[in-house]
């Protein structure tokens, strides 16, 4: 039955993250329990002592949330306005697990007359009886939120460690402690609350000294178990345990005086005792469920059991000894957090969420423990769903009271693509943490023009500076794609700083890094909006029409990206085969988003391949992307396709780039302007020459089979796909050529030596003669053809009769420019800049606006002519677009390396051929007579004086404004400065082409040889983001985490398999499985971990039975 609530009320209810994933019938059933409540200003909504068992949503009005300090002082946390909600997911979990507790320190009161919607959590228990799978999914979402939001904000960004957990059993209430004589009490009974701890939080301290645990084990059972374990000390732990798989059985050596039979019996008793203990902890009535599912491990003191970031870690039950849990913060050593003693479990949270381990587990004394892997836990969960609540409560009761307090204040929110997070000038009342997605900061200038300041990717802090300084928002921020954020209110942050002053040090560190980053970034007014690829994580590949070989293109791009860092391709078939039949449904939104976020953690780039028509998967690809590649065929009709029209009208603000495919043996690009005019929403374009295999039509499985072999080869760093890969990962290499007249022919020699050295060029630009040579190379992409064309052009310029014919009355210039224009037309024809193979730019001086002009589109010869219009020889060029007068770019920026960097180049090779010799002139006094200077020059006996003539003065003047810029460029971290020794040549020595070319070639050969002897080239081609990626992945296993939907496990939803997919390995989603003799398709209701386990058993690689375990001991 559909509830009678208004649509806006239903929308508010769905905005609560824990409710947003419910099926419509379940959601409407919950809505029947919603209660309207009205409060007057100052009236208490809830306060300490009342049961914490409701979700409150503010329909109208405003609430104020506050905490009570241990000394009784109230502390303001945040305001809750219309549309917001207040609740604690940990409190919801307590109700669901049957451990409801009252508010301890949290108070909410109405600031003004308010109308609230109150949803009792008990309604969940009632409704979930008909929807058990939703109960399981809700518990998993709460666990995910606890790990990815609360712990991420408090630990990673604020540097808190032991403050997040109860350190050890001594600080649990008596009813929460494990009863050693009776083993652990079942957590399905009420075990009391932590009321005595709500007002106190354990102080930071060092790990306690190792001590005997015999006093804590007084029962007959524990004494018996101790006896067994003491005997087992004769088995020495293998030294390689620390690096071995934690789920494998450790190797031990037998006692010399012990018979083989006695040893086998002893190990059996030990395992049986451990299974009974684990059954008690998990609230299992039958310990036989653990048969063949648990493994016994022994660890010596100081052995690392599992490291932070590891995937697939199971649950560990300590039988003897003690395990300590450590967490590390950047810049600090690992801190002790809490200990796990006999009868206690560790690893539950990572099993519930499917996420990597968030801490390191180490044995501080010789210990023994049982391990239950994820796959085996999920098998038990399928037949005994109540185990999930037991495990969930064991996690919740370990969380400190401080975390429970802050859980009320930290919000988990989603921002749809295109929506604003806040506007410039808004009051700053919180800091945001990007959990996944991408957001963009924009400022509005006084003239109303909007300028992109930067983009924020996963894990970045947004708005922290304004929040800490209590100043209005300096920028407007909107979501580039669907994003999830953690919202930390200013009041909560102030409370945390007051309670734990060490947080201030962490915030100062974060702010320092931000300030240093801003100082190292060059400031300019010509930053390209397409130059925001420094931290791209996801790329959507979208075809213009069905003719585009999309799968082959995506796999070819993956091949090139693999050279930069780990890359993953995702299609709808891969998602369904990998994650299950219903993975793309709205009810799995939270789990799917989490899994996709994991892929961003594990891969440098994730490629989302859309379908050729509009589907739910296509829409998700678009909304998931940091960058969208619109792929078309360069020789086809440029008309807009169906997907492009949809993309144009969508609110997604991701970076969009047009990619036009060409045959390697085809003609040069043409008509690019028509493509771009129909797609004004793209930020840039690439011309890509694809190998023949991309265009060859094959069945889908044959395409995958082909690229299985292609992936075994190394990508060509000079290929266009590698150029595109470097552009997407922010590793573009640019070549910038400076002006200098005929001395610029040395650029051709440098290009030849650069090509021989194997250094790729992804972008090219220049000024004056550098613009000419750069234009030729961007069109040819080969040094030989570049030399042939420029040498032919040099002969044209060195023709004195043609130059004499171009002389005119010297009012504006000595030459009319007609002859020079003709030489450029013969060199470039009517080619447009947009039709060049390489991204190209040239610089000119706009004397009408007194500004520098960057030309990236338009007629190539015309803007090269503007960039080389050196006065007084040539007149200014009239720009056909705005009639501005353009002169040689050397007057404002003769070596525009900074422009290339602002356009996206990480490394800039800058070749300077300008005048560089020192100017040592004669002091001739306050006036100068030309007749006297003429006499000094023609008289062979007169003293020679060095006084510049008018041409030299003009030449010097042209470089004055660019001297400071040149010094900045030479000493910048992104520029490799090159200066061929061509100063002995004049700017008009066009007839000395070969000599100047040889100087440039020899110089380049010498420099690049030295580079290879060092590590310059290696660093140039190395992805810095990948270095950070690998540092973050230190200690993480190579396996790709699976999509763990516990609700699907319980409800046994059968996944579908794709007839188009042939997976071979977890980490490569696109290879074939035709040669596999063992089926790799998942069985009904089978998780990824269970599938892996089944395949291992089929291949004889896993031995998990006790008999196999004992046999293994005999062998050793």
Residues 580/1043, Cβ–Cβ less than 8 Å = yes
DSSP conformation letters of 601-669: HH-SEEEEE--SS--HHHHHHHHH-SEEEEEEETTS-----HHHHHHHHS----EEEEEEEEETTSPPP
What is the C-alpha to C-alpha distance for residues 587 and 798, in angstroms, rounded to an integer? Answer: 74
What is the C-alpha to C-alpha distance for residues 579 and 1091, in angstroms, rounded to an integer? Answer: 12
Q: What is the DSSP letter of 362?
A: E
Q: Which long-range contacts (CB under 8 A, 24 or more apart) does 211-215 make?
A: 213/320, 213/321, 213/322, 213/341, 213/342
- 94, 879, 888, 912: the active-site residue: 888
Helix (H) or strand (E) holding 952: helix 950-960
Collect all residues with Cβ–Cβ distance below 8 Å to 909 and sequence separation of at least 6.
733, 734, 735, 736, 754, 759, 761, 976, 978
Neighbouring C-beta atoms of residue 960, cutoff 10 Å:
9
291 is catalytic: no
373 is catalytic: no
The three-state (H, E, C) secondary structure of 692-747, written as one string: HHHHCCCCHHHHHHHHHHHCCCCCCCCCHHHHHHHHHCCCEEEEEECCCHHHHHHH
What tokens appear for 1057 in the block?
A: 């398999």
Length of the chain: 1116
What is the C-alpha to C-alpha distance for residues 698 and 549, in angstroms, rounded to an integer? Answer: 10
Residues 589/21, Cβ–Cβ less than 8 Å = yes
Collect all residues with Cβ–Cβ distance below 8 Å to 18 and sequence separation of at least 6.
89, 92, 138, 141, 142, 145
Coil, helix or strand at residue 922 = coil
**Cα end-to-end distance, the chain, whole Å:** 66
Q: How far is CA 1049 from CA 2, 682, 1087, in A?
A: 29, 44, 7
Residues 725/564, Cβ–Cβ less than 8 Å = yes
Coil, helix or strand at residue 294 = strand
Nearest to 278 by CA among 336, 225, 242, 325: 225
What is the C-alpha to C-alpha distance for residues 1003 and 1023, in angstroms, rounded to an integer? Answer: 28
What is the C-alpha to C-alpha distance for residues 1113 and 250, in angstroms, rounded to an integer? Answer: 9
Give all strands (DSSP E) within 521-570, no chain letters.
538-543, 567-570
- 91, 768, 813, 958: the active-site residue: 768
Q: What is the DSSP letter of 1105?
A: S
What is the C-alpha to C-alpha distance for residues 260 and 227, in angstroms, rounded to an integer? Answer: 18
Q: Is 810 exposed, middle or buried (0-12, 13-18, 19+ CB in 10 A)?
A: exposed
What tokens appear for 1013 in the block?
A: 């002897």
Active site residues: 768, 888
């Amino acid at each position: 039955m559909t509830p009678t609530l208004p649509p806006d009320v239903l929308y508010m209810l769905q905005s609560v993250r824990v409710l947003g994933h419910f099926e419509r019938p379940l959601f409407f059933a919950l809505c029947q329990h919603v209660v309207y409540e009205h409060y007057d200003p100052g009236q208490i909504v809830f306060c300490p002592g009342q049961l914490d068992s409701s979700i409150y949503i503010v329909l109208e009005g405003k609430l104020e949330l506050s905490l009570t300090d241990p000394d009784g002082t109230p502390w303001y946390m945040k305001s809750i306005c219309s549309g917001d909600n207040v609740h604690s997911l940990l409190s919801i979990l307590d109700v669901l697990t049957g451990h409801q507790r009252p508010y301890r320190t949290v108070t909410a009161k109405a600031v003004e007359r308010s109308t609230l919607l109150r949803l009792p959590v008990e309604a969940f228990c009632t409704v979930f009886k008909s929807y058990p799978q939703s109960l399981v999914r809700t518990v998993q979402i709460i666990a995910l939120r606890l790990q990815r939001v609360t712990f991420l904000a408090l630990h990673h960004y604020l540097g808190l460690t032991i403050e997040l957990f109860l350190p050890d059993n001594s600080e649990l209430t008596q009813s929460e402690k494990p009863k050693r004589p009776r083993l652990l009490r079942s957590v399905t009974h009420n075990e009391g609350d932590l009321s005595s701890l709500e007002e106190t939080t354990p102080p930071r301290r060092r790990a306690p000294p190792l001590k005997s645990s015999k006093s804590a084990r007084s029962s007959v059972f524990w004494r018996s178990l101790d006896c067994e374990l003491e005997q087992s000390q004769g088995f020495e732990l293998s030294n390689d345990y620390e690096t071995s798989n934690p789920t494998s059985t450790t190797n031990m050596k037998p006692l010399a005086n012990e018979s083989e039979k006695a040893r086998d019996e002893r190990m059996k008793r030990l395992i049986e005792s451990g299974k009974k203990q684990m059954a008690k902890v998990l609230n299992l009535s039958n310990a036989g469920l653990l048969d063949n599912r648990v493994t016994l491990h022994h660890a010596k003191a100081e052995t690392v059991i599992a490291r932070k970031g590891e995937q697939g870690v199971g649950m560990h039950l300590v039988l003897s000894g003690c395990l300590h849990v450590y967490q590390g913060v950047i810049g600090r050593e690992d801190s002790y957090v809490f200990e796990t003693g006999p009868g206690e479990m560790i690893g539950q949270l990572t099993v519930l969420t499917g996420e990597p381990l968030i801490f390191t587990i180490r044995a501080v004394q010789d210990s023994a423990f049982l391990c239950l892997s994820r796959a085996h836990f999920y098998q038990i969960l399928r037949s005994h769903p109540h185990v999930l609540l037991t495990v969930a409560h064991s996690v919740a009761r370990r969380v400190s009271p401080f975390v429970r307090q802050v859980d009320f204040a930290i919000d988990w929110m989603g921002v749809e693509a295109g929506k604003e997070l806040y506007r410039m000038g808004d009051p700053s009342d919180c800091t945001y943490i990007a959990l996944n997605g991408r957001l963009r900061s924009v400022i509005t200038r006084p003239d109303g023009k909007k300028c992109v300041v930067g983009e924020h990717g996963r894990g970045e802090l947004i708005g922290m500076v304004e929040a800490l300084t209590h100043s209005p928002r300096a920028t407007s921020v909107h979501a580039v794609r669907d994003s999830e954020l953690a919202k930390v209110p200013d009041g909560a942050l102030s409370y945390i700083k007051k309670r734990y002053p060490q947080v201030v040090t962490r915030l100062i560190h974060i702010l320092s890094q931000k300030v240093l980053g801003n100082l190292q970034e060059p400031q300019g007014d010509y930053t390209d909006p397409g130059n925001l690829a420094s931290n791209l994580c996801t790329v959507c590949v979208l075809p213009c029409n069905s003719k585009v070989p999309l799968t082959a293109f995506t796999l070819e791009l993956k091949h090139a990206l693999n050279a930069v860092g780990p890359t993953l391709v995702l299609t709808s078939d891969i998602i369904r085969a990998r994650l299950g039949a219903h993975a793309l449904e709205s009810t799995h939104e939270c789990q799917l988003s989490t899994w996709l976020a994991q892929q961003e953690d594990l891969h440098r780039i994730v490629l989302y391949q859309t379908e050729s028509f509009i589907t739910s998967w296509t829409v998700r690809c678009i909304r998931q992307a940091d960058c969208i590649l619109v792929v078309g065929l360069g020789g086809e009709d440029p008309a807009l396709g169906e997907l492009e029209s949809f993309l144009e009208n969508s609110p997604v603000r991701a970076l969009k780039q047009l990619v036009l495919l060409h045959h390697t043996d085809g003609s040069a690009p043409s008509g690019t302007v028509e493509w771009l005019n129909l797609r004004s929403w793209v930020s840039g374009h690439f011309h890509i020459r694809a190998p023949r295999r991309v265009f060859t039509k094959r069945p889908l499985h044959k395409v995958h089979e082909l690229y299985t072999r292609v992936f075994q080869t190394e990508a060509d760093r000079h290929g266009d796909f590698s150029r595109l890969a470097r552009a997407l990962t922010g590793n573009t290499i640019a070549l910038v050529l400076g002006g200098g007249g005929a001395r610029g022919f040395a650029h051709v020699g440098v290009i030849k030596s650069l090509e021989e050295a194997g250094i790729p060029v992804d972008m090219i630009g220049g000024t004056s003669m550098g613009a000419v040579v750069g234009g030729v190379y961007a069109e040819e992409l080969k040094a030989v053809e570049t030399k042939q064309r420029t040498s032919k052009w040099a002969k044209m310029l060195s023709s004195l009769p043609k130059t004499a014919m171009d002389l005119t009355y010297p009012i504006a210039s000595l030459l009319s420019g007609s002859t020079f224009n003709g030489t450029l037309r013969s060199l470039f024809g009517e080619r447009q800049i947009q039709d060049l193979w390489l991204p190209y730019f040239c610089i000119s001086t706009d004397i009408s606006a007194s500004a520098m002009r960057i030309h990236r589109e338009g007629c190539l010869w015309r803007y090269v002519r503007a960039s080389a219009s050196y006065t007084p020889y040539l007149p200014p060029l009239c720009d056909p677009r705005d009639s501005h007068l353009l002169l040689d770019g050397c007057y404002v920026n003769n070596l525009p390396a900074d422009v290339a960097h602002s356009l996206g180049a990480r490394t800039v090779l800058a070749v300077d051929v300008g005048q560089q010799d020192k100017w040592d002139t004669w002091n001739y006094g306050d006036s100068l007579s030309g007749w006297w200077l003429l006499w000094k020059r023609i008289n062979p006996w007169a003293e020679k004086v060095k006084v510049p003539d008018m041409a030299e003065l003009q030449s010097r003047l042209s470089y004055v404004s660019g001297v400071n810029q040149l010094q900045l460029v030479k000493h910048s971290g992104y520029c490799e400065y090159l200066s061929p020794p061509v100063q002995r040549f004049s700017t008009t020595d066009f007839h000395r082409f070969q000599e100047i070319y040889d100087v440039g070639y020899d110089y380049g050969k010498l420099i690049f040889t030295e580079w290879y002897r060092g590590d310059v080239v290696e660093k140039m081609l190395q992805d810095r983001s990948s270095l950070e990626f690998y540092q973050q992945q230190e200690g993480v296993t190579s396996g790709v985490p699976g999509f763990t939907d516990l609700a699907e496990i319980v409800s046994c939803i059968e996944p579908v398999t794709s007839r188009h997919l042939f997976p071979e390995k977890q980490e490569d989603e696109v290879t074939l499985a035709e040669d596999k003799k063992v089926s790799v398709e998942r069985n009904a209701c089978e998780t990824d971990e269970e599938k892996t386990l089944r395949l291992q058993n089929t291949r004889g690689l896993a031995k998990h039975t006790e008999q196999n375990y004992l046999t293994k001991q005999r062998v050793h």
